Structure 1
Amino acid sequence: MPVNANLTFLGAAGQVTGSCYLIEHNKQKILLDCGMTQGADQVREWHKFRFAFKPKDIDLVILSHAHIDHSGLLPLLVAKGFKGKIICTPGTAEILPVLLKDSVGLYLKDLEWQNKKAARAGKKQQEPVMTVAHAERVSELVQPLAYHKRQVPLPGLELEFADAGHILGSAIIELWIKGNQAMRKLVFSGDLGNPATVLMHDPAEIGQADVVLLESTYGNRNHQSLDNTIEEFASALEQAYNDGGNVFIPAFALGRSQEVLYYLALLHRQGRLKQRAIFLDSPMAISITNIYNDYLHALDQADLDKIGAGRSLQQLLPMLKLTPKVEDSMAINRVTHGAIIIAGSGMCNGGRIVHHFKHNLWKNTNHIIFVGFQARGTLGRRLVDGEKRVKMFGQDIVVKAQVHTIGGFSAHAGQSELLEWAKAIGGQPQFYLVHGEPEAQLVLQECLQQLGINALIPAKGDSIKL
């Protein structure tokens, strides 16, 4: 029996980034995630973006986790009139302001640079569509909810979070939607973690559901084993050291940077790390690493024991240098060999990594190690796909640095893990595949159907009745 509720797929439908889903129930409007689409010129994207609803009409946002492709539109939502509640886990609530202030700050810097360029050409200046104050206002609207605590955020809705095992604070959203004589359970996987990776617990199993939104980032392939991944990582580091150059690791400040530090600490503990300087070149990654240190009790203790339980991630790497200031980052370019530089953004569509690339992509002694998914349209994807010349800061730059892609570090579940998680859900739910590129979704859909699980692939803008 229906419960008079609709769900509309507004983002991460047929693509990985931009997670956003609208539920309309009893004249209430609820968003599951409010994420940015990542890839192209962010100033242009922000300025042409239009919500498919009136932000002031949204009563509630339920956030699966803090990654920008799931949370990045929240400041703009506030700037356009949203005044409702935002519910997320305590870990996400801690991390969210760091990411959003950084994201808006980068946007404002890019806008300032573009306005200066426009002024020199006699063109019109652009006004910002949001400010840092809007990012700060997001935090004021947040109401944390711990894992496995049931809450009634709006009449006719019950909400509970389970651990998604993806990053600190990541959640599987369980939502019970009640009508006069019926109830439907909607489950949104968020980003399911890869059980093989470190620091996070395995994703929680869900007992029953009527409708499931399942991420499909790696729906068409499995990750190689973690042991092989670590060997591949160690080999790339050693090769870079022997070549007399530096290693550049584009890494998201949240999750991936902390995992990379863990693996470097593990190699150091094993006596296999030859580099004697490691730079964590991201103010945001430094802040989030400090939050991770505060939450060590909530992380996987078996993993921490392998590198020295009870100590901060920074203390485990004596050669680690934190470079929060711009001048510290610029000084790294004077280090010509024997260094590892971890900098954002993870898909190379902004941040300090692009400045390092400007100075280092054209040197054949340098190595770039990609340790995460690169979405279409990003500089990172173009480098992974083998482009030999890229345009940066108005300059053509030849790519001579050696590029390594190490997929086994992914914090997303691979195909096998997605299938196992889906099989464990009782109640014969209808699945909808989201947060994935079409080729990955089609393969995962076929695999689910072979298991007797019906899965549809919605397009952006599609609506369903719950």
Structure 2
Amino acid sequence: MRIQFCGANGEVTGSSHLLEADGRRILLDCGMIQGDEETEQRNADPFPFDPAALDALVLSHAHIDHVGRVPLLVSRGFRGPIYAQAATAELSRIMLLDSASIAESDTLRENRRRASQGLAPLQPLYTRGDAEAALQRLRPLPYDEEVEIFPGLHLRLRDAGHILGSAAVEIWNAAGRKLVFSGDIGPRGTPILRDPAPVDRADLVLMESTYGDRLHRARADTMAELGGIFAAARRSGGNVVIPAFAVGRSQELLYWMAEHFEDWRIGEFDIFLDSPMAGKVLDVYERHEALFDAEARALWARRSNPLRLPNLRVTESAAESQEINQRDGGCIIIAGSGMCNGGRIRHHLRHNLGRDNAHVVFVGYQAHGTLGRLLVDGARRVKLFGDAIEVRAQRHTVGGLSAHADQAGLLEWYGHIAGRAPVYLVHGEDPARTALAQELERRYSCRAVLSRPGMQVTV
């Protein structure tokens, strides 16, 4: 078995790794690269392999930095099956069709500008037709079931506890050599989701390292902080603007608002989930209650979908979204994208960043080069839609709501794997990866290596 590292090496987006085993070529993830404009232009670059020569694709979960280039892979020649956990397969349909629509509309708008300047038109990264062609190749799988995907090659997906349907991937050959790819590992105790399932053994581990250099705040402290932000917003009379991924973080926020509806006085706000995609994701959650943890199943048994709060409005149209920006206070606005590098959140930031009574709450990782990272790092002025905006809003980074395990959680997940297999760290910036590698070697006496683009390893 040989692995080639094709993406998310020294960065937290663009997940992609190529496995060659028993004469087969299997790609693990095919994610979008996210960041500033120059960084995102890399998405159109040729793949470091021939898509037509791939035999299969395995998806760890449905976040766009893990699935976002799948339609491009298919449009460039891939014709094999795409394996994913059943909920991931459903969520991928929502994510990829939305991504294609954005690519088409952004390109149409840019081409109008180019036409006025006498420039040649551009083509979108991929179209809705490309996304539909890719989705037809999906092969949904349950957790924990061993599947022989090719003679002698076996696949099993284990619950990773990151978002609904997220999986750690186990692949082994007839000789029993096993590769484990962590995907993204969630923290223990995440609401709605089950804790990450342990993996018993491996000969080689590809492991995420997003928060490999830090520990999250205790959940009780995080809840107190979030409640304090809502209390401050009530006093100031401003809006609370929350950039959040449509899959995972939006649902978790609604869950905590339902749990603390009375003590946080959530009923005094108008809540807008300004994301048609996030609304569709709520429907997927309703179809997959079997994947919930015991506490969430008990809550769902007592109440009919507690995520649909009485003062929640899911906005579908652009006109509905625009109406929100007429409100200068009393609203909680949850919108994508989670890193503020696209989507409706940019419009809400444009209208609220300059207000000193507004609150902007960051509840997820902000990749280098994104607008979210600039704001988290304290930028005093940012540019949105061609306008320079003075940042007067109060900014809050609530790290305890992360869907990624912290250093302690990652170490615990690896600790269940017998044999202390060598670890190659992916999906993390170098400071985080370096700190985690040092701690893995200190605690487990294993070999921990920072992957690099194009690096190849044989197991």
Pairwise TM-score range, normalised by the shorter structure: over 0.9
Determine the structure 2 residue equivalent to 1:120.
Answer: 116
Determine the structure 2 residue equivalent to 1:379.
Answer: 371
- Go from structure 1 to structure 2 and tell me whether the alpha carbon gap of 1:458 and 1:430 turns closer, same or farther (over 3 Å shift): same
Question: How far off is 1:145 after superposition?
Answer: 1.2
Determine whether 1:333 maps to 2:325: yes
Determine the structure 2 residue equivalent to 1:302.
Answer: 295
Question: How far off is 1:110 after superposition?
Answer: 1.3
Q: Which residue identity is paired with 2:177?
A: R
Determine the structure 2 residue equivalent to 1:227.
Answer: 220
Q: Distance in 1 between matches of 2:48 and 2:264?
A: 54
Q: Distance in 2 between matches of 1:171 and 1:252?
A: 18
Q: Which has the higher mean CA deviation after the structures are superposed, 36-45 or 445-454?
A: 36-45
Determine the structure 2 residue equivalent to 1:263.
Answer: 256
Q: Which of the numbers 167, 182, 194 marks the counterpart of 2:163?
A: 167
Query: Aligned to 2:283, what secondary structure does the other structure show?
Result: helix
Question: How far off is 1:274 after superposition?
Answer: 5.7
Q: Which residue identity is paired with 1:334?
A: Q
CA-to-partner distance for each residue in 1:187-217, whole Å, 9 max, x for gaps?
A: 1111111113211100011111110111111
Query: Aligned to 2:82, what secondary structure does the other structure show?
Result: strand
Q: Which has the higher mean CA deviation after the structures are superposed, 437-446 or 422-431?
A: 422-431
Query: Aligned to 2:147, what secondary structure does the other structure show?
Result: coil
Determine the structure 1 residue equivalent to 2:246.
Answer: 253
Determine the structure 2 residue equivalent to 1:80.
Answer: 76
Which ranges of structure 2 fall in alignment gaps of 5 or more residues? none
Determine the structure 2 residue equivalent to 1:388.
Answer: 380
Q: What does residue range 1-400 of structure 1 map to in structure 2 within 5 Å?
A: 5-41=1-37, 45=41, 48-178=44-174, 182-270=175-263, 272-273=265-266, 275-303=268-296, 305=298, 309-315=302-308, 317-400=309-392
Q: Distance in 2 between matches of 1:35 and 1:247?
A: 30
- Go from structure 1 to structure 2 and tell me whether the alpha carbon gap of 1:372 and 1:308 turns closer, same or farther (over 3 Å shift): farther
Q: Which has the higher mean CA deviation after the structures are superposed, 19-28 or 50-59?
A: 19-28
Q: Does the aligned pair in 2 maintain the 1:289–1:313 contact within 8 Å?
A: no
RMSD over aligned Cα, in angstroms? 1.6
Q: Does the aligned pair in 2 maintain the 1:348–1:354 contact within 8 Å?
A: yes
Question: How far off is 1:369 after superposition?
Answer: 0.4
- Go from structure 1 to structure 2 and tell me whether the alpha carbon gap of 1:28 and 1:306 turns closer, same or farther (over 3 Å shift): closer
Determine the structure 1 residue equivalent to 2:421.
Answer: 429
Question: How far off is 1:307 after superposition?
Answer: 7.9
Q: Which residue identity is paired with 2:150?
A: L
Question: How far off is 1:131 after superposition?
Answer: 0.8
Q: Does the aligned pair in 2 maintain the 1:98–1:287 contact within 8 Å?
A: yes
- Go from structure 1 to structure 2 and tell me whether the alpha carbon gap of 1:93 and 1:310 turns closer, same or farther (over 3 Å shift): farther
Question: How far off is 1:22 after superposition?
Answer: 0.4
Question: How far off is 1:421 after superposition?
Answer: 1.2
- Go from structure 1 to structure 2 and tell me whether the alpha carbon gap of 1:80 and 1:251 turns closer, same or farther (over 3 Å shift): same
Q: Distance in 2 between matches of 1:216 and 1:170?
A: 16
Q: Distance in 2 between matches of 1:46 and 1:12?
A: 12
Q: Which residue identity is paired with 2:158?
A: A
Q: Does the aligned pair in 2 maintain the 1:293–1:313 contact within 8 Å?
A: no
Q: Distance in 2 between matches of 1:48 and 1:291?
A: 30
Q: Which residue identity is paired with 1:176?
A: W
Question: How far off is 1:25 after superposition?
Answer: 2.5
Q: Does the aligned pair in 1 maintain the 2:299–2:306 contact within 8 Å?
A: no
Q: Does the aligned pair in 2 maintain the 1:280–1:322 contact within 8 Å?
A: yes
- Go from structure 1 to structure 2 and tell me whether the alpha carbon gap of 1:61 and 1:307 turns closer, same or farther (over 3 Å shift): closer
Question: How far off is 1:241 after superposition?
Answer: 1.7
Q: Does the aligned pair in 2 maintain the 1:158–1:177 contact within 8 Å?
A: yes
Question: How far off is 1:303 after superposition?
Answer: 3.7
Q: What does residue range 386-425 of structure 1 map to in structure 2 within 5 Å?
A: 386-425=378-417
Q: Distance in 1 between matches of 2:335 and 2:276?
A: 9
Q: Distance in 2 between matches of 1:269 and 1:302?
A: 19
When the two structures are superposed, what TM-score results if normalisation uses the length of structure 1?
0.95
Q: Which residue identity is paired with 2:178?
A: K
Question: How far off is 1:394 after superposition?
Answer: 1.4
Q: Distance in 1 between matches of 2:68 and 2:301?
A: 35
Q: Does the aligned pair in 1 maintain the 2:33–2:39 contact within 8 Å?
A: no
CA-to-partner distance for each residue in 1:358-402, whole Å, 9 max, x for gaps?
A: 222111111100010100010000000011111111111111111
Which ranges of structure 1 fall in alignment gaps of 5 or more residues? none
Q: Does the aligned pair in 2 maintain the 1:56–1:81 contact within 8 Å?
A: yes
CA-to-partner distance for each residue in 1:169-203, whole Å, 9 max, x for gaps?
A: 0111011023xxx3311111111111132111000
- Go from structure 1 to structure 2 and tell me whether the alpha carbon gap of 1:44 and 1:88 turns closer, same or farther (over 3 Å shift): closer
Question: How far off is 1:158 after superposition?
Answer: 0.5
CA-to-partner distance for each residue in 1:69-91, whole Å, 9 max, x for gaps?
A: 11101010111111110001111
Question: How far off is 1:94 after superposition?
Answer: 1.1
Q: Does the aligned pair in 2 maintain the 1:8–1:461 contact within 8 Å?
A: yes
Q: Which has the higher mean CA deviation after the structures are superposed, 230-239 or 357-366?
A: 357-366
When the two structures are superposed, what TM-score results if normalisation uses the length of structure 2?
0.96
- Go from structure 1 to structure 2 and tell me whether the alpha carbon gap of 1:47 and 1:271 turns closer, same or farther (over 3 Å shift): closer
Q: Does the aligned pair in 2 maintain the 1:43–1:111 contact within 8 Å?
A: no
Query: Aligned to 1:152, what secondary structure does the other structure show?
Result: strand
Q: Does the aligned pair in 2 maintain the 1:194–1:412 contact within 8 Å?
A: yes
- Go from structure 1 to structure 2 and tell me whether the alpha carbon gap of 1:309 and 1:215 turns closer, same or farther (over 3 Å shift): farther
Q: Does the aligned pair in 2 maintain the 1:165–1:201 contact within 8 Å?
A: yes
Q: Distance in 1 between matches of 2:411 and 2:314?
A: 40
Question: How far off is 1:414 after superposition?
Answer: 0.8
Question: How far off is 1:409 after superposition?
Answer: 0.3
